[in-house]
Structure 1
């Protein structure tokens, strides 16, 4: 009985805590790109999310090569470390060459004194998007990094209404930065208290998935890769539609009805599994259900 309970609990935990396929903290590269205000990007997150700090993620970390993926909706604190393509000043008492780069030492980064942002992932930085977004998993299971060797790359939507014009230090644009990153609860994201900035655009229907606060730092269900949802037995993405965006654009009522039916079926399955786990737990506490 205990073995069955453990197995069910493991299945339940894995279903509830599915997360992105890379470490929750580490180092990455960062560039920036133009994203129009109020734009509905690859995840299908509501356009109002762009009023706050957002970013695209490289295809490997994003988890899909089109539409939404497991990283959609996740939030990360991204902190500037150095400009890898511009040499910083040499160490004191050295004869190294001078450059115009910027470098924050480890104690500055760990103390939280360097420029940082909490961003929400709403877009895909495509695999063909130059030397930064092209990290990929090889056939043998290993991951080939981008130009700087990183598995993870953030493409920050900047300039942005939600980010200071002076976020990047220096007197010119260095183009690319080394950054540290750490998954954080989306409650730390600047758009958290604006309910119109959360969830996915209603009109995108089953082509959108943008949880409010998914793993690895939240408890909301995460998105499958879009291509895993295709076919008769495809995965059912969680319903993340933001009703506040309903009616702003044209929609396909038939597709919306199908999506809602699939969501209802998934909710019923989760409820039944919850009841089963509860019954088993009670039986372990009180003795066999049948004498």
Structure 2
């Protein structure tokens, strides 16, 4: 019986895997769901490696999944990657991380639990599926935290509105709207939460394993919550924008009225003087 650890780490910003691959001497272009698999100490591409060999999955979701690597391999890997790919934007790990493990036991029934999956024999497809799900999960975790930050910011604006303060700068509303739209773009276009790896279309067993993990990490439910929260934030932001524009329009109308009144006063004063 052998247990192999996984550690998924969210990455700041976007991950241009094809540019990184080119900088590392990999000429083949990767599809969106295909990770760039590298050796953690040499950055060599690993396509036909041994089952238990340490590797890092760099996904398009903005995540890196370390398989069978020690904890200190994370910082060393990103430092080495920055040294070898000076032409590309350096990748920086965040504090959003998830752990999982895969146990190989021929005498035990295959099971999937919250922190451990057990299978009878080691096959590469299970590693790839676990890495795929973990990459999505930790990317969603980062998005969830960012959405909560925007919610806190919106609560401050609502509190100001409750005190009768309608002074919300257009630049602040624009930044908030841009952040919300970024959530939706990243969750839909980058994470592709509703899609699954190609191998699941070829193997019924792989499809069941992926579906079980997907449900275990509640990927679809979490994605739905992000969508609902972003919809709420967008609607609230639109209300604030409408109030801000109405306040500005009312101010301009009063300015126009004052200018007309001044013009009438000057006209009457000029008539009386002559």
So what's the TM-score if we normalise by structure 1?
A: 0.29
Query: Higher helix proportion, which one?
Result: 2
Q: Identify which of structures 1 and 2 has the higher relative contact order when contacts are C-alpha pairs closer than 8 Å and 6+ apart.
A: 1
So what's the TM-score if we normalise by structure 2?
A: 0.30
Rg (Cα) greater in structure: 2
